[in-house]
A and B are shown apart, each in its own frame.
Chain A
Amino acid sequence: MTPDPTRLHAHELARSLRAGEVTARELAAAHLDLAERQNRALNAWLSIDRDRALGDADGADRRLADARAKGPEAVNALHPLLGVPVALKDLVSLRGGQCTAGSRILEGYRAPFDAHITERLRDVGAVILGKTNMDEFAMGSSTEHSAFGPTANPWALDRVPGGSSGGSATAVAAFHTPLSIGTDTGGSIRQPAALTGIVGMKPTYGRVSRYGIVAFASSLDQIGPFARDARDAAVLLHAIAGRDERDSTSAPVPVPDELLHLPAGDDEAAAWLRGRRLGLPREYFVAGMEPGVEARVRESVASLESAGAIVEEVSLPHTDYGLATYYIVAPAEASANLARYDGIRFGPRLGDGDVLGNYLATRGRGFGAEVKRRIMLGTYALSAGYYDAYYLKAQKVRTLIKADFDALWAQGFDALVAPTSPTVAFPMGARMDDPVAMYLSDACTLPVNMAGLPGISVPAGLSDGLPVGLQFIGAPWSEPTLFRLARAHEAITADAAWRGLEPTDLGLADDPATPAPAERLAAARTALSDPALAR
């Protein structure tokens, strides 16, 4: 076996598999070995199912062998994800597998059915390695709100990987898998992609079926891919996208095959940029943005311009209201979506048998603090006498936020370019006791969810040795444009020094003496609460 397969992109793995240079079983085993070895230090995975993964890999190897026996045409017709490893965020239902959504309240629950995207991934022959860590019910921006301990950022183990899909992002950044699935309600794919230096795409609302995905906020949730380059992410999106009768909000919009054929060559990819009109929304350079982040973003913008793109500063005047409206709409929907966790049909049941007592004990002990905070926010916003002032008004503002974007699409912009996160990865514990500071992590991403638009985060260099993310935002159903932009950005920064760097702390992650993320977080919180150590 030639180079370490864990360092390869999915499209390279697909080529090797077809050429017979490696088997799906070998690929799966190499990734599983690495994941198992480093999970103590990174806590990216909540479950690694080696037996099932190897079984799936054997199935893929049989399909490969069958195709090879039939000839080159059959091999060419194989799906590019056949035999390629993938990880699922632990809120994607996988028949017979755990599905905790990062919560105690779902401990022991095993989904009796596959999510739509799980079916799709099985159909194309992808090898599901396991389920990844996340903020409880996807509520958070750091993965510190997981009931099963935080995930570490492979670039700095004492920092967060972002969230809520922090496990999926870290697993890809640390080479445990070339691909993973996340969900994005306010930035939960793009922000961790930015903080771990990988590609993460949140598709147009309705592009991917939500059937079988544990719901956080139904009108905002979307499922999307993580990968280490644009081409891989596009192929994974292609596999999971499309109308599903079981999700009435999934749209009957064709999935463009263009996603499977992004330009491989840098010159072709860069050439596409010529004459593209990009808007640079001034409101996204928010107060509190780190200078290093702003510098990297502006450098990327400059390189896009020198490659022929036309960048104009634009305004999205209602951006400032995004956070406030998001924190009414999302918790309101969540307060209803999370009502089903009552201990009656699945999950642990606590209490002494009396109905109210069971509810109080099961939900009181099963949910973490952040989840309870949002259930209370949402319940309040929907209550009699407050509905009009909060929920209804928030929905109106949401319409205005969407109209801001629509006005720009009407002016002919191909996409917008913006920072993904105002900061690089922050230290564990730093925002745990300041919910608003934590919420501000998503200031640049959540308006995109409010408007139902696609957005992608791509690596744009380092600031203080930590990854910075660049975000492209597009009109509805413009994923191919965003992937072409992402691919072009890769091409024009291919020679940048940071492109060749691997996450700084991977060596540490391999060291059995490295403390687990939960210990790091506990230590950080002790330090923060110690008056002697506080400023």
Chain B
Amino acid sequence: MTTARGAGVAPGAGSTSALDRYEAVIGIEVHCQLRTASKMFCGCSTDYDGAPPNSHVCPVCLGLPGTLPTINRRAVEHVLATGAAIGGTTPEATRWDRKNYFYPDLPKGYQISQFDLPLVSAGSLTFDTSDGPATVQIRRAHLEEDTAKLVHATTTEGRRVSLVDFNRSGAPLMEIVTEPDLRTGEQARRYAEELQLLLRSIGVSDADMERGQLRVEANVSLRPRGTEPFGIRTEVKNMNSFRAVERAIAFEVERQARALDAGETLAQETRGWSDDRGETYVMRSKEDSHDYRYFPEPDLPPLRVEPAWLAEIRRRLPELPAARRARYREALGLSAYDAEVLVSDPDAATLFEATLAADARLDATLDAKAVANWVTGEYLRLRNAAEGPISVGPGDLAHIVGQVAGGTISGANGKDVLAEHVATGRPAGEIIAARGFHQISDASEIDRVVDEVLAANPAAVADYAAGKAQAVGFLVGQVMKATRGQARAELVQSTLRARLDVPGDKVGG
């Protein structure tokens, strides 16, 4: 077994003591809905979010007699791309298997999945933790079909019924299973976050946990520190957020440690996580576990993955998050924070890259750090305020950043220009010209405005004198307002402080 480097201690009261005596052994299974236009084995659209129940169904995904599956090539490519991104291996011939069990959400009574020949084996993923980088080995990634959705309801007559919505039935699902390499809830959360980022970056999944596109399950067991054999493990489900992943595992580690300390024998069982109660509970015990009777799916021939096909998929892979993160920090000199914000936000990263590219086409004068500041600052602020996607022309942003950096307009005016550009789509240059923005750098003019502002705001001046340093911010704002944002901010700051900090010389009265 390979252990994660940088094993750390999960936050949370009590976990320190448990992890002093026991080592947690954690493996993660992720189910991820793939981004395809149609379902895994039929032509039904996967665009069923919010659609009426059973409106995206056909004889195939309803499992009607006589229907047969056909493979969605795009879904296979998504798994192969994931495999390439995690450095996994893909056999030249893989196949499909039937996983047999009865449940009303499984129309055929079996799920078409992959058993002993998955599309991807032996990959790995590296991610940061509070204790530094850690690497988890990924055992396999395979393709299967999603189940239908059961809805439990009560009729108007008060009868409890279960309804089945087959819209999701047969949607393509990728299962990614790690080796039991993880040691803390934090590592598990960070792995899941990094995996989400990777899946989004290569465009194979929207991987939204809240919408069930990314489902995380954890296998958790403990063993006394310094020993090798695995303890009895529990499988934890129903963790609907990254935070829940960390909390549920931390809870489970504590619970198992207490039980072991008390001399109890743990049960191999499946447990659910209750976010409200902050605890796990028994869902089903080992005795209920299924014999899935896997056997090769006779309706689908073995799938051959031609080396040329795999090479093409590798060639099409975009820059991966880890590589991009390194490039931003090392080649472009961005801060770790800015690099992380950009890498984890595909829209922001795209704008950042495009702005630099636009600048490169002009005179390549912009500092990447300045562009990053604008993107992670103003752009994200505007986008978050808009609660939806916004459009910024990379050339426009390059223009604004350039004008501010060159001192032609003030930073405050630059922000106004960007906001107006987002609102109206007008080119930034036109906005600057129309609004007559230029920067006031003339000390005497700023002196004059500062005098007026100090005279008009005696209360703020008194606050400052009484030790409220933040009053200066208010006064700066007043100066900027009076100059329609055109005053050079640094000059306003220094002028104000110079005037306010003169001992005994109480200005304005």
Are the CB atoms of A248 and B71 closer together than 8 Å? Answer: yes
**B87 CB within 8 Å of chain A:** no
Are the CB atoms of A345 and B63 closer together than 8 Å? Answer: yes
Residues of chain A contacted by B295 (CB below 8 angstroms):
332-333, 336, 382, 387, 391
Are the CB atoms of B65 and A355 closer together than 8 Å? Answer: no
**B66 CB within 8 Å of chain A:** yes
**A340 CB within 8 Å of chain B:** yes
**B301 CB within 8 Å of chain A:** yes
Are the CB atoms of B64 and A112 closer together than 8 Å? Answer: yes
Interface 0/1 of B451-487, CB less than 8 Å to A = 0000000000000000000000000000000000000
Kindly name the residue among A93, A246, A338, A345 whose own CB sees the greatest number of chain B CB atoms within 10 A: A345
**B345 CB within 8 Å of chain A:** no
Query: Which chain A residue has the least Cβ–Cβ distance from B106?
Result: A339
Are the CB atoms of A355 and B66 closer together than 8 Å? Answer: no
Are the CB atoms of A214 and B107 closer together than 8 Å? Answer: no
Check A218/B299 contact, CB under 8 A, given A212-B67, A342-B102: yes
Are the CB atoms of B62 and A345 closer together than 8 Å? Answer: yes
Are the CB atoms of A248 and B299 closer together than 8 Å? Answer: yes
Which of A248, A249, A339 lies in contact with B110, CB distance below 8 A?
A: A339
> Could you say which interface size class chain B belongs to?
20 to 34
Query: Which chain B residue has the least Cβ–Cβ distance from A217?
Result: B298
**A213 CB within 8 Å of chain B:** yes
Interface 0/1 of B156-175, CB less than 8 Å to A = 00000010100000000000
Which of A213, A336, A346 lies in contact with B98, CB distance below 8 A?
A: A336
Are the CB atoms of B69 and A214 closer together than 8 Å? Answer: no
Across the A-B interface, how many residue pairs have beta carbons closer than 8 Å? Answer: 104
Which of B293, B299, B300 lies in contact with A379, CB distance below 8 A?
A: B293
Residues of chain B contacted by A384 (CB below 8 angstroms):
291, 293
Kindly name the residue among B65, B107, B109 whose own CB sees the greatest number of chain A CB atoms within 10 A: B65
Are the CB atoms of B298 and A101 closer together than 8 Å? Answer: no
Interface 0/1 of A181-215, CB less than 8 Å to B = 00000000000000000000000000000111111
**Residue count of chain A within 8 Å CB distance of chain B:** 45
**A147 CB within 8 Å of chain B:** no
**B68 CB within 8 Å of chain A:** yes
Are the CB atoms of B66 and A93 closer together than 8 Å? Answer: yes
**B11 CB within 8 Å of chain A:** no
Query: Which chain A residue has the least Cβ–Cβ distance from B109?
Result: A339
Are the CB atoms of B64 and A336 closer together than 8 Å? Answer: no
A93-107: which have CB < 8 Å to B?
93, 99, 101, 106
**A245 CB within 8 Å of chain B:** yes
Interface 0/1 of B81-125, CB less than 8 Å to A = 000000000000000001010111001111000000000000000
Are the CB atoms of B66 and A340 closer together than 8 Å? Answer: no
**B130 CB within 8 Å of chain A:** no
Residues of chain B contacted by A342 (CB below 8 angstroms):
102, 104, 109
Which of B68, B164, B293 lies in contact with A210, CB distance below 8 A?
A: B68
Are the CB atoms of B100 and A336 closer together than 8 Å? Answer: yes
Are the CB atoms of A355 and B67 closer together than 8 Å? Answer: no
Residues of chain B contacted by A106 (CB below 8 angstroms):
65
**B429 CB within 8 Å of chain A:** no
Are the CB atoms of B299 and A111 closer together than 8 Å? Answer: no
Check A382/B65 contact, CB under 8 A, given A218-B298, A336-B109: no
Are the CB atoms of A245 and B298 closer together than 8 Å? Answer: no
**A407 CB within 8 Å of chain B:** no
Top 3 closest pairs, chain A to chain B, by CB: A339-B109, A218-B298, A382-B293
A-B contact pairs, 27 of them (CB 8 A): A93-B65, A99-B66, A106-B65, A111-B64, A111-B65, A111-B66, A113-B59, A211-B68, A212-B67, A214-B66, A215-B65, A215-B299, A248-B69, A248-B70, A248-B71, A333-B295, A335-B293, A336-B98, A339-B110, A340-B109, A342-B109, A344-B107, A344-B164, A346-B64, A379-B293, A382-B295, A387-B293
Interface positions of B (Cβ within 8 A of A): 59, 62-71, 98, 100, 102-104, 107-110, 162, 164, 291, 293-295, 298-301
Q: Other CB < 8 Å A-B pairs besides A339-B100, A341-B65, A342-B102, 13 of them?
A: A91-B66, A106-B65, A111-B64, A112-B59, A115-B66, A210-B66, A246-B70, A248-B69, A333-B295, A340-B107, A340-B108, A355-B104, A384-B291
Interface positions of A (Cβ within 8 A of B): 91-93, 99, 101, 106, 109, 111-113, 115, 210-215, 217-219, 245-249, 332-333, 335-336, 338-342, 344-346, 355, 359, 379, 382-384, 387, 391
